[in-house]
Amino acid sequence: MNIAFIPVRGGSKSIPLKNIKELNGKPLVYWTAASAQNSECIDKIIIATDSDEIKKVVKSFNFSKLEVYDREPQNAQDTSSTESVMVEYIKKSSLGDNDKFILIQATSPLLKSNHIDEMYEKLLNSDADSIFSGVREKQFHWIETPQGVEPINYDYKNRPRRQDFNGIIAENGACYINSVKNILENNCRISGKIITYEMPPETAYEIDEPSDWLIIENIMKEGYRNEN
């Protein structure tokens, strides 16, 4: 079985109740839930929440694959990790070791159903244990050190042309796939041999701040999600 797991809390300091705030005419969590609903590889969608208000909104979607899970209060705090509610759910469920656990974050509404399916297929056709979605960045990155700063992805004395530069892959936070067994053994969303699925550059945006909201809404208004 392939489970899509979307954790959403009621508390959000930067954007109050952001998971059900309307984005391009729909509650934020609707977009990732719809992508999971339309994904061919997903058998069941679990939306884990601590909020009765979110629960009511989510149930109104009437998605056939969707179930709501009442997450425990201790795993719905500002300091709670996503892994804590993942493990909580798995331990209470009847999932098997080899079932695939597909973590999807509601703050990435640019994730589409074909992204999920292609990502799953890539993992299935590889010898990897887990996979995450990411975007390719072609900026030159530096890290601060006691001696100043040092480049971490290029040689500044031999600056490459952009067209010759592979850049680096950055997680975009949209989707992660691993087996139930690996998650329980490692208490982590990705583990073992890890590969990545590259998504379009605009999917680098996650909704954490009001400015992110405006950027993503404008992308969507340009027709990004017309097919889903």
Q: Which of 136, 159, 161, 225 is catalytic?
A: 159
* Residue 120, phi-psi category: left (phi > 0), alpha (psi -120 to 50), beta (remainder): alpha
Q: What angle do CA 37, 43, 45 make, to 5 degrees?
A: 55
Q: How far apart are alpha carbons 181 and 191 in whole angstroms? A: 10
**Residue 71 falls in the annotated catalytic set:** no
Which residues contact residue 67 at a Cβ distance below 8 angstroms, ignoring those fewer than 6 apart? 44, 45, 46, 47
CA–CA distance, 41 with 102 (Å, rounded to integer): 10
Q: What is the CA radius of gyration of the chain?
A: 18
What values do phi and psi take at 10, rounded to 5?
A: -80, -30
Helix axes 113-124, 28-38, angle to 10 degrees: 50
Show which residues are catalytic: 159
